[in-house]
Amino acid sequence: MLNTGENMTGILYFFVIIFANMVGAISGMGGGVIIKPILDLIGRHSVAAISFYSSTAVFTMAIVSTFRQIKSGGIHLNMVRVLSVSGGAIVGGILGNVLFDYLLGYFGKGGSVQLVQIILTIITLVFAFLYSRYEWKSFHLHHLGWYIFCGIILGFLASLLGIGGGPINVSLLMLMFAMPIKEAAVYSICTILFSQFAKLTTIATTTGFLMYDLSMLFFVIPAAFLGGLLGAKISNILSPDKVTIVFQSVILVVLLINIYNGWLLLK
């Protein structure tokens, strides 16, 4: 039975996750890049618990969004490429979670790990914004090995940072393979699906889930489902230019939230 404080926290998480996953599904960011810093800012749970809730929300959203995108037929996916990136993301997701657990053990407190996450997230946000703003020249890579390598990098960062995927997914896919932004967003969501599956599987087979307040999942999972549905629906309507505007706007807002969270930790 949830008490009043837990109910209020759950309701707050519910609305944050609906908005974050809706925007994440539209832009290909995955929602975690918004969920993670806002839940850090709310400060009701540990860094490990927030990372778990964020991953669960993003994984749920990725399932819904991927299904909706395939069903709508709006974007034609090359399944060999999807599986190559996603296979790499599984490996990267496992490695990222292993490093995350190591950092928690090494520093002995969540604040230091959270600061590492914030610094790395800020770096990826700046890269993503500059790339989308100034349209750097793409490499037009084609070999499947590059797709696997890309997946490993993206899965590793997604799992380590607890943000599901983030803006670096879309930017790196566009940079390496010259994908249009809407196509990159769909491939990004597929990558997020597999990387977060790897992270949650690693948690299940190591520490288990009982260390977390699982009652929050009654708010997290329905919100993630609704956000994924809304985001996939809106994504099919918006033009590439509108998706770019959403992408850049979210980056700037999340960048400010991360800088503020980092400042609070350093005070």
pLDDT tens-digit series, residues 112-124: 888 888 898 888 8
- The pLDDT > 90 percentage for the chain reads 17
Task: Specify which of 129-138, 193-202, 205-214 reaches the highest per-range mean pLDDT.
Answer: 205-214
Is the pLDDT confidence value at 229 over 90?
no
Confidence of residue 12 (pLDDT cuts 50, 70, 90): very high
Q: What is d(CA 111, CA 235) in angstroms, rounded to the nearest whole number? A: 36
240: tokens are 């590439």
Rounded average pLDDT over 31-50: 87
CA distance 35 to 19: 9
Please report the pLDDT score of residue 73 as a whole number: 62
CB 234 within 8 A of CB 185: no
Distance CA 8, CA 102 (A): 32
CB under 8 A, 24+ apart: contacts of 142-147: 142/177, 144/80, 144/81, 144/84, 146/176, 146/177, 147/81, 147/84, 147/85, 147/88, 147/177
With beta carbons less than 8 A apart as the criterion, state whether 51 and 43 touch: no
Mean pLDDT of 32-40: 86
3-state secondary structure of 171: helix
Residue 5: predicted pLDDT: 67
Residue 41, pLDDT above cutoff 60: yes
Tokens of 47: 């860094």
On whether the pTM is more than 0.85, the answer is no
pLDDT of 135 reads 73
Nearest to 159 by CA among 199, 105, 113: 199
* Distance of alpha carbon 117 from alpha carbon 145, whole angstroms: 28
| Residue 40 DSSP one-character state | H
Q: What is the C-alpha separation between 247 and 109, in angstroms, rounded?
A: 33
pLDDT of residue 146: 95
- Burial (CB count within 10 angstroms: exposed 0-12, middle 13-18, buried 19+), residue 56: buried
* pLDDT of 3: 67
The mean pLDDT value for 208-217 works out to 90
CA 95, CA 202: separation in Å to the nearest integer?
10
Confidence of residue 106 (pLDDT cuts 50, 70, 90): confident
Q: Count how many Cα atoms sit within 13 Å of the Cα of residue 203 in the half-sphere of its side chain.
A: 23
